[in-house]
Amino acid sequence: MRQLLEIAIAIILALVLFAAFSYISVYLIQLINVFSLVVIYYATSKDEIHGACLGAVCGLIQDSFSLGVFGVAGIAKTLMGFIAGFVAKRINVVPAMRNFVFIFIMISLELILWASLYSFVYSKGLNTGRGVIFLQPLITALIGTALFPSLRKIIKSMYASRR
């Protein structure tokens, strides 16, 4: 129950950030993939099943905010969440540098998967927003690397204070 609440809060937080970014500038939602950050955080903290399920939920929410075939972002995020959880269970990705590389690879992988599925479904290339979208792995990885340690500390201290 507590875990579900935690995940729900994380999704709502991502939604708040997504709405705020779209309100500020269209480029921000291309630069920072907040839903993917939530998926990667939970996939690395829990396991690949959590990663895949949360990936499906976040991807479908993202799909509901876009005109087109519903489920394309869902599939890409499900696979990314699964792989993130699977890898994180075998390799320690907590140290800053590894964390950065890990997020960078995961976001790039998701972007490739999403672009391939998009091109397959629509038989067209996607809008790269004058190339802005290619910066997404880098910017999202930088933000994730800066954010995850503090998040881990906060959640750890919350659990510790409960005990």
Partner 1 sequence: MPFIWQKNKSFIILAILIVLQLVLVSVQIPLGEEGNYFERAVFVVFSPLQHGIVSFAQGIGNVWKSYFSLRKAHVENDELKKELFFLTQENNLLKNALKNYKTEKEIMELLQKLNQNILYARVVGIDASNYHKSVIINKGSLDGITKNMVILDKSGNLVGRIIGPISLKEARVQLITDNECGVSVFTEREKALGILKGDGKGDCKLDYILSTDRDVFEGDSLITSGFDGIFPPGLAVGEIVSISPTEELFKEIKVRPHFEFRHLDQLAVIMVESKDLY
**Residues found near partner 1 in the complex (CB under 8 A):** 12, 15-16, 18-20, 22-23, 26, 29, 47-49, 52-53, 56, 60-75, 78-79, 82, 86, 118, 121, 124, 126-127, 129
40: closest CA among 51, 49, 29, 30?
Answer: 51
Query: How far apart are the C-alpha atoms of 29 and 34, rounded to whole Å?
Result: 8
Count of C-beta atoms within a 10 Å radius of residue 73? 29
Q: Which is closer to partner 1, CB of 36 or CB of 145?
A: 36
Q: Which is closer to partner 1, CB of 72 or CB of 103?
A: 72
Least distance (Å) between residue 80 CB and partner 1: 11
Q: Which is closer to partner 1, CB of 8 or CB of 158?
A: 8
Least distance (Å) between residue 163 CB and partner 1: 29
Tokens of 161: 């204070």
Query: How far apart are the C-alpha atoms of 44 and 160, rounded to whole Å?
Result: 20
